[in-house]
Structure 1
Amino acid sequence: MSDSDKKFILIVDDSSTNLSVLSQALKTAGYKVRVAVDGESAMAMLEKCALDQRKTPFPELILLDVQMPGINGFETCRQLKANPATRAIPVIFMTALADAQSKIEGLSLGAVDYITKPFEQEEVIARVNIHWRLKQLTDNLEQQVTERTGALQQAQVQVVQQEKLSALGQLVAGVAHEINNPLSFMVSNIAPAKEYLAEITELLSLYQKHYPEPASDIAIKIEEIDLDFVMEDFSHLLDSMRIGTERIKDISLALRNFARSDGDTATAIDLHETLDSTLLLLKHRLKNRGPRPAIEVIQNYGELPPIKCYPGPMNQVFMNLLANAIDALEDAWEKDQRSLKITINTEVLRESAIVRIADNGLGMAEEIQQHLFEPLFTTKGVGKGTGLGLSIAKQIVKDKHGGQLCCKSTADEGTEFAIELPMQV
């Protein structure tokens, strides 16, 4: 066994004889040993471990004498257990104090065992072996719990994501389908209506040519309705209806694109069209709302080839990031009425498509950014967020597309999310 693989035991005792005897016995038993002659030295050593655990790892176990100069063993143990970095290290007290009260005090401070002096080397080795093994089992159990908890959270996020996509897809597809029926009727009838208007206008012109002096009641009616204005404005009304139906058609197409059900099939798509469709669906939130001005969207699109990805899930990613950016800007407006802006940049970098979505909102503190992608973590108020959006988005980008979703934020300056998608999935 190499020296780096040996279990590290710290012995704290003011007796050089005890240190020498215990060190030799533990080294013979296969342990790596470090020693400290008092509580202050031990705490200083552990502080050094905390600064660089790769070079100086924390001990697996501490043998701690009770009666020492300076701070005694009880106080040293109290400080160890008060520090989150050293709280989990097992402590075995070594002392000549055999009364029950001393043992109770030591164990109540968090020690795992008590060895009475003078001690037998075999007993010390046996107790150290037992508690080292218990610590390993505890560490392994905690790691398994952490891994299982993480796996369970990921599974829950996947289920929620699939259910949300399925329910939203069905709803949006149904709405788009219902819109298409009356929309098709309107679109197909506007062109004939304009033709009929042109024919009626032509016929009225012929009447005016051949009967320049109509009957008095007809002349009165022509003047009442302002026939020339009606004929001209009627054409403008039909043009407005055509523009309106084209907008509805674009919205319907955006809904269909957003609700694409081919989530299990990778398809080469234009990410710019996907971004535009998402912005169209969010247009009502980008407009001015009461005293809040409209949110400016700057689209700096680079040259992107069609990217092979899963359209439905990617739509969800863009929708979540843009909606979050709008939320952040609304919060910023309430604080200081700043101008509101979202910037979208796209480019190809290192064989990957990069999409950056940035806002000039309030930004986030570092401690918040560290937990940003954790399931159920949210900074929004009750009823305003589930804490699953960013977690689902990262899972879609990383696990489903083999890409990366990163966040860069500066307090009071804004936040940028960068999506990196490999050119091939």
Structure 2
Amino acid sequence: MTVPVPDQSKLLIVDDNPTNLGFLFEYLTKSGFKVLVALDGESAIEQVKYAQPDLILLDVMMPGVDGFTTCKRLKADPSTQDIPLIFMTALSDTVDKVQGFKIGAVDYITKPLQPEEVLCRIQTHLTLRNLQKQLITQNKTLFQLKEKEQQRALELEQTLIKLQQTQLQLIQSEKMSSLGRMVAGIAHEINNPLNFIYSNVSITKDYIKDLFHLIHSYQRNYSKPNAEIIAETEAIDLDFLESDLPKILNSMQVGAERICQIILLLRSFSHLDESDFKLTDIHQGINNTLFLLQHNFKPQSGRPAIRVIKDYSNLPKVWCYGGQLNQVFTNILTNAIEAIDQETERWKVANDSLAINPPKPVIRICTQVKDNTSVLVRIADNGSGMDDDVKRRLFDPFFTTKPVGSGTGLGLAISYQIIVERHKGQLQVNSKLGKGTEFFIEIPLSLTEDYKREMLDN
């Protein structure tokens, strides 16, 4: 279904840089839009209230009221909260982008701006906005017509599902793209100096060994040094220096090796250097995910350290999207950690103190081959659990039990899409309120040759 962008759509550009404003104003005006401009957040908020633009392009870094604050104020006002807002910024950190999405932005454009990209994103989000308006109007009509328009209601529901799936894919693509850029940046910026350090440590060891050999030669041939040399030897504690300096160099070498391992794990985690759909070691993906989340398992604010129990069976490699499976493991493990934290807080309130040791948190990961047809991964926690109503809606897009601004509600919906739609598998959950939760991830071992070819071609 194609929905054209309305003629003379009204845009508001907010940027404290006159050059950017002039460039965008001229380009977008020639592209057929009615363009308004503002130099700061405060005047932008006033313009939005009376002009009601169809879309806002908002710079993040501005003096006074910055872009994030401006966005929050617009989203808090019922008269302006539905206007699509796209951030423009030179910031490229994933944390900044996620913050923008959390407070209500629909997209993110990184400076320097490319005019074709700006125009394409504007047209896309104006089209989505127009679709949403049409859906709202049509739903009202359907409510009035009731039984006469039941078939039409079903079609609109399918359209809405497709729109939500498209939004999920866009956000998923942006997340994975950001992760890829981050890892590539780490490799580029760290590898060269790290290789310099790593390769020179062994050379430095040899140099130091030679220097101490020379010192020992002097000590043997000049057994009675003068007072100045004796004083200097005692001042630097030569014997201790000789024994400790190799230890320091060994520690530096171990640290450099550890950094190399971390970079390799990050590359493996995101599968940047490999074809995505391939034979994959499921255990390696789980272990890499656990490694990247290990700081979350440590004791935190009254909660003991989380014990991770791994009960692995002998699994064959599986045809799958390794990077996407890693994201599923990340989403489920992150939810398990949050559920354990919630249970700890509930326990603290119920017991009114930490005098009694709280329950010991545990996450158990089991793998097995099921009926020789699929690989089953079970991830269980002893956290807060969930009631039947939450379980029914758990995989719905944008459903979340977290407070507003604390989460997007996309993690498990994306996980369901990855397992069920991309891998033709199953994702199920078993949970009781206050009794913990267990997720069942099932990936088929055999895929048809036609499906493999289709995935590899994509």
What interval of TM-score do these two structures reach, taking the shorter chain for normalisation?
Answer: 0.5 to 0.7
Residue 361 in 1 paired to residue 383 in 2?
Answer: yes
Distance 1:141 1:186 in 2: 67
Distance 1:355 1:213 in 2: 73
Other-structure match for 1:376: 398
Deviation of the 1:363 alpha carbon: 0.8
Residue 343 in 1 paired to residue 364 in 2?
Answer: yes
1:15-414 equivalent positions in 2, closer than 5 A: 137-261=148-272, 265-336=276-347, 337-350=358-371, 351-414=373-436
1:106-129: CA deviation from partner (whole Å, max 9, x where unpaired)? xxxxxxxxxxxxxxxxxxxxxxxx
Distance 2:307 2:154 in 1: 47
Deviation of the 1:136 alpha carbon: 5.3
Other-structure match for 1:421: 443
Distance 2:204 2:446 in 1: 49
Where 2:211 maps in the other structure, the secondary structure is helix
Which ranges of structure 1 fall in alignment gaps of 5 or more residues?
1-133
1:323-352: CA deviation from partner (whole Å, max 9, x where unpaired)? 222222222222223222221111111221
Distance 2:217 2:432 in 1: 72
- Kindly indicate whether the alpha-carbon contact (under 8 Å) linking 2:430 and 2:439 is maintained by their aligned counterparts in 1: yes
- Kindly indicate whether the alpha-carbon contact (under 8 Å) linking 1:254 and 1:278 is maintained by their aligned counterparts in 2: no
Deviation of the 1:401 alpha carbon: 0.9
Deviation of the 1:148 alpha carbon: 2.2
Deviation of the 1:263 alpha carbon: 8.8
Deviation of the 1:226 alpha carbon: 1.7
- Kindly indicate whether the alpha-carbon contact (under 8 Å) linking 1:187 and 1:242 is maintained by their aligned counterparts in 2: yes
- Kindly indicate whether the alpha-carbon contact (under 8 Å) linking 1:332 and 1:338 is maintained by their aligned counterparts in 2: no
Distance 2:382 2:229 in 1: 64
Distance 1:407 1:338 in 2: 23
- Kindly indicate whether the alpha-carbon contact (under 8 Å) linking 1:186 and 1:245 is maintained by their aligned counterparts in 2: yes
Distance 2:246 2:325 in 1: 42
Deviation of the 1:172 alpha carbon: 2.7
Other-structure match for 1:56: none
Where 2:315 maps in the other structure, the secondary structure is coil
Larger Rg over CA atoms? 1
Deviation of the 1:227 alpha carbon: 1.4
Give aligned pairs, total: 292
Where 1:370 maps in the other structure, the secondary structure is helix
1:94-116: CA deviation from partner (whole Å, max 9, x where unpaired)? xxxxxxxxxxxxxxxxxxxxxxx
Deviation of the 1:395 alpha carbon: 0.4
Other-structure match for 2:15: none
Deviation of the 1:209 alpha carbon: 2.4
Deviation of the 1:259 alpha carbon: 2.6
- Kindly indicate whether the alpha-carbon contact (under 8 Å) linking 1:343 and 1:357 is maintained by their aligned counterparts in 2: yes
1:287-338: CA deviation from partner (whole Å, max 9, x where unpaired)? 2235433222222221111211112212211221122222222222222232
Distance 1:192 1:211 in 2: 29
Which ranges of structure 2 fall in alignment gaps of 5 or more residues?
1-144, 348-357, 448-458
- 1:316–1:213 CA distance, 2 compared to 1 (3 A): same
- Kindly indicate whether the alpha-carbon contact (under 8 Å) linking 1:268 and 1:309 is maintained by their aligned counterparts in 2: yes
1:65-102: CA deviation from partner (whole Å, max 9, x where unpaired)? xxxxxxxxxxxxxxxxxxxxxxxxxxxxxxxxxxxxxx
Q: RMSD of the alignment, in Å?
A: 2.1
Distance 2:240 2:258 in 1: 27
Deviation of the 1:252 alpha carbon: 0.8
Deviation of the 1:135 alpha carbon: 6.4
- Kindly indicate whether the alpha-carbon contact (under 8 Å) linking 1:263 and 1:312 is maintained by their aligned counterparts in 2: no
1:379-420: CA deviation from partner (whole Å, max 9, x where unpaired)? 112222100010001101111111111111122221111211
